Amino acid sequence: MALTSLRRSPLVDLAVSQLREQVLSGQWPVGSRLPAETELAQRLEVGRSTIREAIRALVHAGLLETRQGSGTYVRSVTPSADWEPRLRRAAVLEVYEVREALEVQAARLAASRRTEGDISALRGSLAERERARDEDASFVEADLAFHRSVVAAAHNPLLAEMFDSFAAALREALIAVRSDHHVRDAGADDAHARLAAAIEAGDADAAARATHDHLDPTAANLRSLIGR
């Protein structure tokens, strides 16, 4: 099953709009607790998952806050000026959190299982990534191809299926990172080269470290920008 796109569904957008309107109109004063998810879902005639996603969006916008074991409360009736960029960055961060879980394991397995054919594919995709570095659209596809070659070298069909399911969301996240000068990651080219070299050398720990070195700085930057 395909993972969620960075673009919200129309139902979620509608729920965000309606909840935001009620917050800004003073329906729920600052400090008050919102009704339970079940009640909100009934009022808006949507599913609870839609309500959860809408609440998460308004938390990122600075209007709401969630308190573990207590509920969701109104934090402010003045949305932050950069709330839309914060929402996009929050969505990209979610992708990067999934990437870490998937790609670190793929790198470890690839270092243990790669074949000569895998090494050749890695070298080719790394070279293509380097050639496309200054062309945003081509670069995103080349970067995806490199990471797909790492996953392929892991020789785990389920992992490959998960990556293919994840590819659309990952493509959108990569485009968002390339277009956001506050986020655009530095030093990733070196980490990719080290990842390919570690896989070729059969060094699983080095492959995992290179993957972390690629993903962690961007994730930390995103967390800082959205105030997590």
CATH 1.10.10.10 matches 10-74? yes
pTM value > 0.75:
no
Residue 187 clears pLDDT 70, i.e. is over it = no
Q: Tokens in use for 69?
A: 């074991």
- 19 and 59 in contact (C-beta within 8 Å)? no
pLDDT band at 4 (very low <50, low <70, confident <90, very high): very low
Q: Are 139 and 129 in contact (CB under 8 A)?
A: yes
- Whole-angstrom Cα distance, residue 40 to residue 50? 10
pLDDT of residue 103: 96
Q: Let me know if the fold of 10-74 is the same as that of 83-226.
A: no
- What superfamily in CATH does domain 83-226 come from? GntR ligand-binding domain-like (1.20.120.530)
SS (H, E, C) 42-87: HHHCCCHHHHHHHHHHHHHCCCEEEECCCEEEECCCCCCCCHHHHH
Quote the pLDDT of residue 185: 60
Give residue-wise pLDDT tens across range 74-126.
998 887 667 778 778 888 988 999 999 999 999 999 999 999 999 999 999 99
Domain boundaries, the chain: 10-74, 83-226
